Structure 1
Amino acid sequence: MTIQAHIASLEKKHGALEEELQTILSSPSTDDHKIADLKRRKLRIKDQMQRLKATTRH
């Protein structure tokens, strides 16, 4: 898998997590642990994307 393909895959996962997070936040009964977990996963993916993008610039 090329770096660009890997970044695209991570962007897709990040978007899916964002959609899931928005769905959970719009529901009346929210699970704080699930919300925190989704946010952590999104942040990890975002960090991975930034690292990969930085390597392609050098």
Structure 2
Amino acid sequence: MDPLTWLLIPMATGMMASLWGCVVSRRRRTNDWAHVQRYDRLRAALARAAS
């Protein structure tokens, strides 16, 4: 039984790491282009203000 306990520790660690990865993962954004266009407008406005 003792050798099986040593095999259980890495397996449990791997399972907990995969569970943690699922819990803390970020959802992907679907509308990134709106953020890019807003950033481009802000950058253009700042360039006009600086000159």
TM-score normalised by L of structure 1: 0.41
- Please say which structure displays the higher CA radius of gyration: 2
Using CA pairs below 8 Å that are at least 6 residues apart, which structure has the higher relative contact order? Answer: 1
TM-score normalised by L of structure 2: 0.46
